[in-house]
Chains A and B, each alone.
Chain A
Amino acid sequence: MTPLTTLEKAYCEHALADLLEPKTGIDGALLASPDGFEIASAIRGRTLPRAQVAAMSSSLLAVGAAMAHELRLGTCRNVVVEAATGTLLLFTVPCKRAPLVLWSIATSDATLGMALISTRTCARDVARHLDVGHLAPDESRVRVP
């Protein structure tokens, strides 16, 4: 995987920060490489062992993909973990350079549909941006929001 440029990382940080808007019900998000290295994160109001959870998100999504394959369900797009005080949403970022991992934490009072759509949209935007950046590596043409 081609390493992300500074501008690409900045775009990812912005995209994840946008996910934390009150209407989404999300108070934490992290983007990781396919093998679980953190690329960008936006966490509100809590301290997390980010390296550890980045690695765990890679494992969990890989198990989801293996299970979907075993059940002949096709490509795994996301894994949802509903816990007592929040819901973890794990998405595959359909990036051609490498299928990155994006997770978000929806609070217990969040509307799950809104959190799902917001995270999925973020995953698609990140993928689109990174693929465009990869095909046309002239950074001056990449607009950082």
Chain B
Amino acid sequence: MPSEYKILLVGTMGAGKTTAIAAVSDRPPISTDVMNTARHDFDKATTTVAMDYGEVSLPGGDTLRLYGTPGQERFAFMWTILARSALGIVFLIDNSRPDPCADLRMFLDAFGDTLRDATAVIGVGRTETHPKPALDAYHAVLRDRQLSLPVFAVDVRKRGDVLLMLDVLFHQIEALVPVNVEKPR
């Protein structure tokens, strides 16, 4: 019996959550992007205010349901709503931001409850133009939290990069879910 797995994509505004979902979704992604009126804070034409949604069908018939969260903390109420029953989280970190390791720590705090029952991967973007901090710095953040999670350098515009992260996350989820359970919680 095919299963469906709810995956959350989390990250700061502009980290590439909407782009990542569009890059891999088998169906036209659902978007709730609206005009960004706070251009002085972040020079981006649009911003996600509720969620993005996409789906990836796996060869065995299983489906990954991908939910992108709004990046701005003003919309953190949506993080809580979307995190319910998620089995996996992709933390997308923008390496060009002033303190991307602090961004990761903030998201690990915000999704700490979800991580008790779910697993995660870390995708670090814009490393070509902003090589520092190195990936080791993120491993150090995770070690401080007694977490052991994969960290990747990714270009979310590349379908292969995003699929690789999802593939690793899916295998981690499979290790979490009891063999005889057909549907996730």
Is B51 an interface position by the 8 A CB rule? yes
Task: State whether the Cβ of A51 lies closer than 8 Å to any Cβ in chain B.
Answer: yes
- Interface-side segment among A7-15, A54-62, A116-124, A128-136: A54-62
- Count of chain B residues near A, Cβ 8 A: 17
Q: Give the chain B neighbours of A70 by CB distance below 8 A.
A: 30
Interface residues as binary, B126-166 with A (CB distance below 8 Å gives 1, 0 otherwise): 00000000000000000000000000000000000000000
Is A35 in contact with chain B by the CB < 8 A criterion?
Answer: yes
Cβ contact within 8 Å between A34 and B37: yes
Give residues of chain B (10-61) contacting chain A, Cβ–Cβ below 8 Å. 30-32, 34-38, 47, 49-51
Residues of B within 8 A of A5 (CB): none
Given contacts A35-B47, A35-B49, contact A62 B34 (CB under 8 A): yes
Question: How distant is B139 from chain A, measured CB to nearest CB, in Å?
Answer: 34
Identify B49's interface contact among A1, A36, A52, A98, CB under 8 A. A36
Q: Is the CB of B74 within 8 A of A36?
A: yes
A25–B34 Cα distance when bound, in Å, is 31
Q: Are A59 and B50 in contact (CB under 8 A)?
A: yes
Query: Roughly how many angstroms separate A33 CA and B34 CA in the complex, as a whole number?
Result: 10
Q: Are B32 and A65 in contact (CB under 8 A)?
A: yes
A37 adjacent to chain B (CB < 8 Å): yes
Known contacts: A1-B37, A59-B50. The answer to whether A36 contacts B30 by CB under 8 A is: no
Question: Residue A63 at the B interface, CB < 8 A?
Answer: yes
Asked if A66 is an interface residue, CB under 8 A from chain B, the answer is yes
Q: Is the interface of A mostly helix, strand, loop or mixed?
A: helix
Give chain B residues whose Cβ lies under 8 Å from the Cβ of A99. 34-35
**Contact, CB under 8 Å: B37 / A33:** yes
Most buried by A among B49, B77, B78: B49
Complex CA gap A33/B46 in Å reads: 12
Are A55's CB and B75's CB within 8 A? yes
User: Is the CB of B88 closer than 8 A to any CB of chain A?
Assistant: no
B125 at the A interface (CB under 8 A): no
CB-CB nearest 7 A-B residue pairs: A62-B32, A59-B50, A34-B34, A33-B37, A62-B50, A58-B49, A34-B35
Residues of A within 8 A of B (CB): 1, 33-37, 51-52, 55-56, 58-60, 62-63, 65-66, 69-70, 98-99
Other CB < 8 Å A-B pairs besides A99-B34, A99-B35, 8 of them? Answer: A34-B37, A35-B47, A58-B49, A59-B78, A62-B49, A63-B32, A63-B51, A65-B32
